[in-house]
Amino acid sequence: MRQGSLNALANEAEDQLPAILLGQDLATYLDVTLDDSVTLVTPQQTLSPLGLIPRTRRARVAGIFNLGLYEFDSSSGFVSLSFGKRLTGRDVVDLIQLRVTDIWQAPRIADDLTRRLGAAYVVQDWSDRDQTLVTALGHEKLAISIAIGLIVFVAALSIVASLILLVMEKSRDIAILKTMGTSPRRIMTIFMMQGLIIGMAGTFIGASVGYTLCLVLDRYRLVRIPADIYQVAYVPFVVLPRDIAIVIISAIAISFVATIYPSRQASKLDPVQALRFE
């Protein structure tokens, strides 16, 4: 609620016009504010000497809300149930909307309501109603995942190149360790641990910076977009624990795989060839 209160719908005085709550964008478009009056026109018609005319009612703006979606904030208003019945001339409710705690449980709840209420009611959850949007967002998320995977792959190639150069630089030291009795497996473990430490450090630093950046961008709504096109005025950044865990584990796993080839090359180094020109 930007102005007014929801209680205005429940506490309507008899000497006042019925209350209505308007969306913020709709109120701006109509150029009305708190306690202004508006005229509501309904599809129901009244027979008059001039023929059928639309039914109109006056209402008082008792509050202005902002749901964060342009589709609702630019075209929606809320009235009390009693005023809604008088306004539409109906005695029964056509639509009941439920808000659930976990949005991912909505399909299961919808199926449960269908079994409880029977065939007289049609139950629809958000994933069915906005299936096209959900599918598009799924494809977009897949494309972003592929792009992030390619970025991590390039970073893994950097780890491979760094370790190969390190093996070439430390060939003399590796040869000395081998002549002193160090096993090839131990040599391989040393370079794998070094590459893994590099990958883990980069992953955790990047994850921390990215998480902090997402919090700042979401809190202060820095990335603004046209609300009439995208339905929201800014890009929300929501970091899910499962997603960040998948990214961290995948990055560390790729970093570990990238260390295998240079580490094996280090373990196979021939001490005689390495020390021949020393």
Mean of the per-residue pLDDT values of the chain: 89
Distance CA 164, CA 182 (A): 20
Query: Please, is 229 exposed, middle or buried when counting C-beta atoms within 10 Å of its C-beta (0-12, 13-18, 19+)?
Result: exposed
Q: Which backbone phi and psi does 234 adopt, to 5 degrees?
A: -150, 165
Position 277 scores a pLDDT of 62
Position 214 scores a pLDDT of 94
Residue identified by tokens 């430390």 is 170
121-147: pLDDT as tens digits: 999 999 888 888 889 888 998 999 899
48-58: pLDDT as tens digits: 777 778 888 99
Q: Which whole number is the average pLDDT over 98-125?
A: 92
C-alpha separations of 15 from 6, 18, 19, 32 in Å:
19, 9, 12, 21
CB 263 within 8 A of CB 185: no
Residue identified by tokens 């599918």 is 135
Other Cβ atoms less than 10 A from the Cβ of 64: the count is 21
Q: Which whole number is the average pLDDT over 148-152?
A: 86
Share of the chain above pLDDT 70, in %: 99
DSSP 35: T
pTM: 0.70
